[in-house]
Chain A
Amino acid sequence: MIPEVGHLALSLALAVALIQSILPMLGASRGNLAWMRSGQSLALVQLALVAIAFGALMWSFVVSDFSVRNVAENSHSMKPMIYKIAGTWGSHEGSLLLWVLILTIFGGGVALFGANIPDALRARTLSVQGWISVGFLSFMLFTSNPFARLVNPPLDGQDMNPLLQDIGLALHPPFLYLGYVGFSIVFSFAVAALIEGRVDPAWARWVRPWTLAAWTFLTGGIVLGSWWAYYELGWGGWWFWDPVENVSFMPWLVGTALLHSAIVVEKRDSLKSWTILLAILTFSLSLLGTFVVRSGVLTSVHAFATDPSRGVYILLLLGIAIIGSFALFAWRAPAMEGGGLYRPVSRESALLINNLLLATGAATVLFGTLYPLALEAVTGEKISVGPPYYNAAFVPVMLPMVILAGIGPFLSWKRADLGGVLDRLKLVAGVSLVAGIAIWAVTTEGSILAAASIFAATFLLLATVQEWAWRIKLGKAPLSESLRRARNLPRSAWGMSLAHLGLAVCIFGFVGSTIWKSETVAFAEPGSTVEVAGFELTFRGSERVKGPNYEAIRGILDVTRDGKPVTTLYPERRNYTFARSQTTESAIRSTVLGDLYTSIREPADENIRNTWTLRVVYEPLVRFIWLGAALMILGGLVSLSDRRLRVGAPARDRRRGMAAAPAE
């Protein structure tokens, strides 16, 4: 019964979405205010209906209703409750429902919190959002119904893939989708603006919080996935440039560019068509990601259960959305340029170059990801594009961007004094250069890329701190004055500093865990010891443990350093009885300086018995990656809180008040 309610709610949601995609748009073109405002109630009704459907599916998982095929294939009565709930989005159908739920949440958000947006723009935006809803709801109802019943329900389910029964991965899709799908609202705003034929600073201001929210979530989603892979896959790697990773990274890169270019639109009424293009691109790349993951056209670690008919449907949706919006762009955008004047050396130019670098980076990733497919289509030849390509082509493009991120905030709008700024950054540049050279000297291979990365990251870190200190006149004014200035610093400025710091910290993590990584692999019998990075690990033996839906053997490792006990680690090898598969649960001793990462499994050679293959990896600074990402997310949130303050209070007035403050 409950699943049928869910199914019905989905069908109704499709009907509502259809009306939402037409009525407000029509109202906006005819000037009919009632029709325009219908968009808001329609968006909320649609949200409620999809939420009911989502709740119904979750309920089916929670009570283990195995007459629902989706539940039977992805759950088990013995599965811990948290993973029953997470199982709701653990399959293709369920994750699609989550996708649509988040789409309608953002639509509802614009309906509820968009009071300061003009009626026509809001109506058109919600209509465009309705188009996307129609596409994905129909896709779900026609090809991937999450509520399909089984005629002969099994007694128990097949359980979910054990790799997915993990907290990192339970949270990964919701965050990733909040990012991916969050950009839909930015896309809708862009298309609405194209239809309206008007983009102005006010438009950029309305779009900004949504962009920022989506970007923050996407950052979180990507990092959760990376973190999960790090500890769960038993290998200690956190990024491999796999197609599914790349397709989530591209929207992030372009979204980051959008975040910066929208500032130029907002403050200087310039770069308008470029910003619109980025808004469309960001969501288009999100859609491309959805397509790649669900169609199986690219060979990836995470190939979907491939179904060509689904692939064709998504491609069709994609084609309509992307080609339609780009055609609209080609038609309407040329009329939009205009705006502010600025010199080649200015904040605007710096942001422009930042955008060029980010766009080049995104294009490089796109090229690397799709080139094998294109080459195969043209010549039939198959090639692989992996980490060496991205290290050679992507990283060098990003390094100047990192340095620019350090310099940019010092530049003033319109016309900046580059010489003066560089003069101020002399000390920072010198220290960074020393750091880079030191790294180059101490690493055995003398990796230029690592040294350059450390240089860039140190520069960004110090320059960001210096810029912040300069803003609050730290040391130049009495401390109380500096504190007052720090308090009055706009939240968006705080957000920028935090996010830039986060990027620098991340880079330390990337480099540290790559060049100083040390690894030992050994056969371990009770009593055997291995040594890694100054730690001595003694394998005391193994014991059986039993979980709710798995049995495991866990190794006991005593860790000492210089003879003093440090900790005891328990890496596990789990056998999930119902899902009939095994996982490796690493045991990690994590400190800021580095992670001691251990995992065990059976030797590959079947003739070797009564022993374990013990893998111990020391990854220095790997925590900096998560820490840096957390700083970026914090930066996003802080910046967002600034925007909320501004709702209803025109920024200019508030700023004026601030500027007047020193005179008191």
Chain B
Amino acid sequence: MKRILWFLPLIVAVAIGGFALWGLVADRDPSRIPSVLIGRPAPAIALDPVPELGTPGLSTADLTAGGRPVLVNFFASWCVPCKAEHAVLSRLAREHGVTLYGVNYKDKADDARRWLNDLGNPYARIGWDNSGRAGIEWGISGVPETFVIRGDGIVVHRYVGPIVGADAQQEILSALREAGLKEPAS
């Protein structure tokens, strides 16, 4: 017993070293926080449409209306990475039959309209979150962020940052498929 005491510093040092090594090599982003929403019903949402855009707004009922999984994407015209993922989202909606809803986060209506007109509008519905309150309800830390919602309204996946690159697309697609996405036979 006494003998072990002398080894105590060594044991503690090895343990700390182990955690430090894990911190270095593990595939982790120290600044990312896990979402508390996963496995829980999507937060209530009731957003007006972006003025004069023509795309309908977004409310909680819309999330479960089709009984199929939906993708909820928080975006803004001032967000550069959003531009990068825009093409990917468009393709998901067009080619994979994904129901894509958008939340336009803290944006000016004019800017949002111009942005969507320039790039195209893949969103079936867009809620205008001018105050950023919906963002807080959903616990986002910035844009873009994307959530996969199952047909019964449960949040099953969250993606932080732009969905670009094959891995990210695959991650989103498999989450959608697991949630029951029916893709059009192509």
List chain A residues, Cβ under 8 A from B28: 376
Known contacts A281-B9, A284-B13, A334-B6: A380-B20 contact under CB 8 Å: no
Beta-carbon contacts of B125-150 to A below 8 Å, as 1s and 0s? 00000000000000000000000000
List chain A residues, Cβ under 8 A from B54: none
Complex Cα–Cα for A550 and B17 (A)? 44
B184 at the interface (CB under 8 A from A): no
Complex Cα–Cα for A434 and B6 (A)? 45
Let me know if A382 and B17 touch, CB within 8 A: no
Which one of B9, B26, B34 contacts A382 once the chains associate, using CB atoms below 8 Å? B34
CB distance from B123 to the nearest CB of A (A): 27
Let me know if B25 and A326 touch, CB within 8 A: no
B33 at the interface (CB under 8 A from A): yes
Let me know if A330 and B6 touch, CB within 8 A: yes
List chain B residues, Cβ under 8 A from A312: 21, 24-25
Let me know if B9 and A329 touch, CB within 8 A: yes
Let me know if A297 and B6 touch, CB within 8 A: no
Let me know if A382 and B33 touch, CB within 8 A: yes
Let me know if B16 and A297 touch, CB within 8 A: no
Let me know if B24 and A308 touch, CB within 8 A: yes
Within 8 A of B (CB), among A371-414: 373-374, 376-377, 380-382
Which one of A277, A333, A377 contacts B19 once the chains associate, using CB atoms below 8 Å? A377
Complex Cα–Cα for A334 and B1 (A)? 13
Let me know if A315 and B10 touch, CB within 8 A: no
Let me know if B19 and A370 touch, CB within 8 A: yes
Let me know if A296 and B30 touch, CB within 8 A: yes
Complex Cα–Cα for A291 and B24 (A)? 11
A322 at the interface (CB under 8 A from B): yes
Beta-carbon contacts of B143-181 to A below 8 Å, as 1s and 0s? 000000000000000000000000000000000000000
Known contacts A299-B30, A323-B17: A373-B23 contact under CB 8 Å: yes
A659 at the interface (CB under 8 A from B): no
A295 at the interface (CB under 8 A from B): yes
Interface footprint category on B = 20 to 34
A153 at the interface (CB under 8 A from B): no
Beta-carbon contacts of B1-38 to A below 8 Å, as 1s and 0s? 00100110110011011011111111010110110000
Complex Cα–Cα for A374 and B26 (A)? 12
A-B contact count (CB 8 A): 68
Interface footprint category on A = 20 to 34
List chain B residues, Cβ under 8 A from A284: 13
A338 at the interface (CB under 8 A from B): no
A298 at the interface (CB under 8 A from B): yes
A319 at the interface (CB under 8 A from B): yes
CB distance from B76 to the nearest CB of A (A): 15
Which one of B14, B22, B26, B33 contacts A323 once the chains associate, using CB atoms below 8 Å? B14
Complex Cα–Cα for A281 and B26 (A)? 27
Nearest A residue to B22 via CB reads A377
Let me know if A374 and B19 touch, CB within 8 A: yes
CB distance from B89 to the nearest CB of A (A): 28
A318 at the interface (CB under 8 A from B): yes
A604 at the interface (CB under 8 A from B): no
Which one of B10, B20, B30, B31 contacts A326 once the chains associate, using CB atoms below 8 Å? B10
Known contacts A277-B9, A298-B30, A330-B7: A377-B17 contact under CB 8 Å: no
Complex Cα–Cα for A295 and B24 (A)? 7
List chain B residues, Cβ under 8 A from A318: 17, 20
Let me know if A330 and B10 touch, CB within 8 A: yes
Nearest A residue to B9 via CB reads A326
A327 at the interface (CB under 8 A from B): yes
CB distance from A267 to the nearest CB of B (A): 25
Let me know if A311 and B30 touch, CB within 8 A: no
Within 8 A of A (CB), among B23-80: 23-26, 28, 30-31, 33-34
Beta-carbon contacts of A267-311 to B below 8 Å, as 1s and 0s? 000000000010011001000100100011111000100001001
Beta-carbon contacts of A3-16 to B below 8 Å, as 1s and 0s? 00000000000000
Complex Cα–Cα for A381 and B35 (A)? 10
Nearest A residue to B2 via CB reads A334
Let me know if B24 and A330 touch, CB within 8 A: no
CB distance from B8 to the nearest CB of A (A): 8
Complex Cα–Cα for A281 and B12 (A)? 11
Nearest B residue to A374 via CB reads B19
List chain A residues, Cβ under 8 A from B9: 277, 280-281, 326, 329-330
Complex Cα–Cα for A619 and B163 (A)? 48
List chain B residues, Cβ under 8 A from A333: 6
Let me know if B23 and A377 touch, CB within 8 A: yes
Complex Cα–Cα for A370 and B25 (A)? 16
Which one of A329, A377, A380, A381 contacts B10 once the chains associate, using CB atoms below 8 Å? A329
Let me know if A322 and B17 touch, CB within 8 A: yes
Complex Cα–Cα for A513 and B53 (A)? 53
Known contacts A281-B9, A326-B10, A381-B34: A319-B17 contact under CB 8 Å: yes
Complex Cα–Cα for A280 and B19 (A)? 20
List chain A residues, Cβ under 8 A from B33: 382
Let me know if A323 and B21 touch, CB within 8 A: no
List chain B residues, Cβ under 8 A from A295: 20, 23-24
Which one of A308, A370, A376 contacts B16 once the chains associate, using CB atoms below 8 Å? A370
Nearest B residue to A288 via CB reads B16
Complex Cα–Cα for A315 and B22 (A)? 11
List chain B residues, Cβ under 8 A from A381: 34
Given known contacts A295-B20, A334-B6, what 9 new A-B pairs fall within 8 Å (CB)? Answer: A277-B9, A284-B13, A295-B23, A308-B24, A312-B24, A319-B17, A329-B6, A334-B3, A373-B22
What would be 24 A-B contacts, judged by CB atoms less than 8 Å apart?
A280-B9, A291-B20, A296-B30, A297-B20, A298-B23, A298-B30, A299-B30, A308-B24, A311-B24, A315-B21, A315-B24, A318-B17, A319-B17, A322-B17, A323-B10, A323-B14, A326-B10, A327-B10, A329-B6, A330-B9, A330-B10, A377-B19, A377-B22, A382-B34
Q: Which 10 A-B pairs have the closest CB atoms?
A: A297-B23, A326-B10, A330-B6, A311-B24, A326-B9, A330-B7, A377-B22, A299-B30, A374-B19, A322-B13
